[in-house]
Every structure is written in C-alpha cells, then in structure tokens.
Chains A and B, each alone.
Chain A
C-alpha cells in the first residue's frame, strides 16, 4: 500500500519569496514516481513536476523544484519567487511501478498556499 502525507493544511508566503511545501510518502515498491499537482480555485488539476525514485538529481521545472530525500521518504515542492497566481491547493501524489496499485495515483490531502502581496 502507498501513502502520502502532507502535514501543512495551509501556508502563507509573501510575494517574491520562496516557499517549501512538505510531502512524505510510504511505499514498499522499490521503484516509484512522485508528482506534484496544482489546483487553482477554478478547479482544474495541473501537473507541475515529476521525480523518479532512481533519479540522481532533483527535478526542476521553471520556478518549481522537487527536494527529493529518498532516505527520509520526502519529496518537498519548492516554489521560488512566489507570484499571486501561485495561490492554489497543491497535491503531492505517487505511483508505484508494479502490482495492483501501479496504475493509480495515490494523493495526499493537499496544502492550500496563499500568496500575500
């Protein structure tokens, strides 16, 4: 079974500052992928960034980077230079490579980020 834990229900960040959203995970799969999605107030789910469990380097996509610490089972999302448009719910998710759960994304409960002007 896979589990994602996001311990921060809500976060505030000043515009132009960096912010880290926490995500810890648990899985018995030796190989897995970690994903972050953004859900603005309009409701759509937007894929942001992906990290594979065997990737040596942390993933980056523009202002998003994933701080992957495999031994700690954490996959924190870092947003640099926050913008007002970053205000949204952010979900961490994972998917294993084998077994019955390998087709399913397992999601955390999300963190609501509010960017303050």
Chain B
C-alpha cells in the first residue's frame, strides 16, 4: 500500500472556524492532490501540487487553500468553514502528473461542518 497518512480521520467543527487537513506521504512522490467526495458526485479535484511550493487549482477550489512546504506534506485549509464543505476529503499521490500513472489515495478524512 502507498504510504499516505491523512489526519485527522474525522473532524466535527462549526461554521466559520478554520480547518486544516494534513496529508503525509512516505513515497517521495512529486505530485499530491486533494479531492472531495460527495454523494452523487464521485470525487472532484480541489487543488494539486507539482512540487514544493508549487500548487494549482482544481475543479472545485473556491473556499480552499493549500500549502506544500515539504515534499512529504500537503495541507488543505478551509479558512472559514461552511456547511457546504461537509464532505469526505481524500489525498492522493502520484510519481508523475501528466500521463497515465494511477493516483493512489489515502484513507480519507470525514469532515462535518455544523
């Protein structure tokens, strides 16, 4: 299994509070991704990183920011959480960005915004 650890695994918080999710990998892969999974939508890309301090927006980036100060860590921040951001968040990694390499996923973080 790919060495990907997401923390926390579960979190309940209130609307308007800041939330940071962490993804840690031990594979030394260059590319890291944050997706969210909602019923009826499959997974959708929020942001991705193609190197330390190099990030870009995905399909559903509004309300989220990311940071990558080390190869192994990719942080997702909700500056002011809203109920619409209640979701399951998955981190993924890959050696290459473009091309046909599969992305390997962490176990997910279940986030509830009350």
Which of B18-26, B36-44, B78-86 has 4 or more CB atoms under 8 Å from chain A?
B36-44
Q: Which residue of B lies closest to A104 (CB)?
A: B45
* Majority SS at the chain B contact face: strand
Q: What 0/1 readout, one digit per residue, does chain B (37-63) give for beta carbons within 8 Å of chain A? A: 000111111001010000010110000
B74 adjacent to chain A (CB < 8 Å): no
Pick from B97, B102, B108: contact of A50, CB below 8 A.
B102
B42–A33 CB distance below 8 A: no
A47–B100 CB distance below 8 A: no
Number of A-B contacts (CB under 8 A): 65
- Closest approach, in angstroms, between the C-beta of A77 and any C-beta of chain B? 14
Which of A14-22, A65-73, A79-87, A95-103 has 4 or more CB atoms under 8 Å from chain B?
A95-103
Question: Bound state CA distance, A102 and B45, in angstroms?
Answer: 12
Number of interface residues, chain A, beta carbon within 8 A: 25
Number of interface residues, chain B, beta carbon within 8 A: 29
Q: Which residues of A contact B41 (CB under 8 A)?
A: 109
Contacts A97-B99, A102-B97 known; A45 to B45 CB distance under 8 Å? Answer: no
B42–A43 CB distance below 8 A: no
B45–A105 CB distance below 8 A: yes
Which A residues are within 8 Å of any B CB, using their own CB?
A: 4, 32-33, 35, 37, 43-47, 50, 52, 91, 93, 95, 97-98, 102-105, 107-110
Which B residues are within 8 Å of any A CB, using their own CB?
A: 31, 33, 35, 40-45, 48, 50, 56, 58-59, 88, 90, 92, 97-100, 102-108, 110
